[in-house]
Copies of this chain bind each other. A is one copy, B any other.
Amino acid sequence: MASASFIAGDWGTSHLRLYLCDATGRVLERRAGPGVARLAGDFPGALAAAAGHWLTSGVELPVVLCGMVGSSIGWVNVPYLPCPLPLDEIAAGSARPRPAVCIAPGVSCVNVHGAPDVLRGEETQVLGALHLDPDLRSGRHLLCLPGTHSKWVIVNNGVLREFMTAVTGELFALIRDHSVLLRPGSAGGSGSRTGAFDRAVKHVAAQRQASILQMLFECRSRQLAGDLSAQDAPAYLSGLLIADEVSASLAGLGTRLAAISRVLLIGEPALTGPYAAVLATHRVDARQLDGAAASLAGLARIHAQLFAGEAHV
């Protein structure tokens, strides 16, 4: 505990990921806890339970949190900051439910479709990405943060300009868990998970006028036709959805960016990998950054801005 400087926490709907960090943001210890949706309001208690002796060793460490803990179902509802938003203003927009606890705000915009859009948690990851890579702090960049609700974000000279959400991950889970599309009562077909994913991606690319509402039925009909195995159907579904999201996002944000040749993907490697593969079919170069590392770097940046100079070990 000698070098412990602050506690960083990514507190989402499903999980709390808590880190004990030194002054440079290096992780000394990790803990996990219940997500916001599983708590009946006692956030201080849940934090104390997860942090354990980190918070009871006599020194009050600052706690910097991001994610749904700052939403209407969280500890405190931290208002969305509107775009365009200089990323270094996130810290100032944070809420302090207790003097030593800071919760990052979400961000709102009017997206390229003219609709209101919001994100919460990803602002800290984008801030972290810029902290980790100085090249991102100047010029115009497109970032994609895949997940339950994927976010496509445009950053210009350190300012979050606008973004766009796609519900790709949520639809995948809904269909996998509840739909008849993946369980047509027939096996048949052969292939591989990777092969089925690539096949779906190619198929979407060849059907430019199609809606994903039409193509999703193929998860079932191809199985009935002996053209896809039950084992490969989830990968085919994933390929259809991600290819549709990537294609529509590049088309939509292409009206904002002269030419899209590079995208920074931030998220779990198991998810950013397939997105990179799809982006490659569009001849877009994709770099991948681990989502947890991005969150941590962003939380460390907020800590440095808010608590620098304040007394702590």
Contacts and interface: CB of A to CB of B under 8 A. Distances in A.
Interface of A: 13, 71-73, 80, 108, 113-118, 149, 164-168, 170-171, 174-175, 177-181, 184-186, 203, 206-207, 209-218, 221-222, 224-225, 227, 241, 244-245, 247-249, 251-252
3 nearest A-B residue pairs (beta carbon): A211-B248, A116-B225, A165-B217
A189 to B, nearest CB: 11
By DSSP majority rule, is chain A's interface helix, strand, loop, or mixed? Answer: mixed
A29 to B, nearest CB: 32
A213 B185 contact: no
**Stoichiometry (number of copies):** 2
Contacts of A207: 113-114
B167 A216 contact: yes
B210 A252 contact: yes
Contacts of A186: 72
Contacts of A13: 180
B248 A213 contact: yes
Nearest to A149: B217
A167 B181 contact: yes
A248 B248 CA distance: 14
A181 B71 CA distance: 15
Nearest to A37: B180
Given A165-B217, A211-B212, A213-B212, A72 B185 contact: yes
Nearest to A242: B213
B211 A244 contact: yes
Given A115-B221, A174-B178, 15 more contacts: A13-B180, A80-B224, A114-B206, A117-B221, A118-B221, A118-B224, A177-B178, A209-B248, A209-B251, A210-B252, A211-B245, A211-B248, A213-B241, A213-B245, A214-B248
